[in-house]
Amino acid sequence: MATSKIQAGAGRVLLWENPNPTASFDPQTILSTDLSEYAYIEVWAMLYTGFQHLIPVVHVPIGMQGNLTGVAGHAGETSGVLVVVTRGITFNSNSIYASEGMGCSASSSWTINNGNAIPYKIYGIK
């Protein structure tokens, strides 16, 4: 019920939805079209593959880059280990680009992992 109220907001348009939001997502141009009518985009993302939890929503103004970033306990490691996941999103007047996913825990350095911070939905906000 809450989702339908959010989607019905004035000036807010669903631009893209990932058909498989819990699968790995390679770096790519998500949209390539005229986006100049939108002041910013709102990006929803999943933490990582197979994990159906959203990370905090990110608002990216036109001409800027934002980061999809979330923190979670990692099931494959010792209990209590937190993992930080992130991915860059670039928005300009004619495209939206998602960079590679990255991950890091207290016991490791940053590594590329395209199963992290998977874009789920992108809305254009006028």
Find which of 9-13, 54-58, 96-100, 102-106 is predicted with most confidence, using mean pLDDT. Answer: 96-100
Whether 97 and 80 have beta carbons less than 8 Å apart is answered as no
**For residue 11, is it within any domain?**
no
Domain limits for position 32: 17-125
**For residue 85, is it within any domain?**
yes
Phi/psi for 79 (5° steps) reads: -50, 135
**For residue 4, is it within any domain?**
no
**For residue 105, is it within any domain?**
yes
Q: Write the pLDDT tens digit of every residue in 23-46.
A: 999 999 999 999 999 999 999 999
Structurally, the chain folds into a number of domains equal to 1
**For residue 51, is it within any domain?**
yes
Task: Determine the 3-state secondary structure of 5 from DSSP.
Answer: helix
**For residue 2, is it within any domain?**
no
Considering the chain, what percentage of its residues have pLDDT values greater than 90?
A: 63
**For residue 12, is it within any domain?**
no
**For residue 73, is it within any domain?**
yes
Nearest to 97 by CA among 37, 22, 25, 48: 25
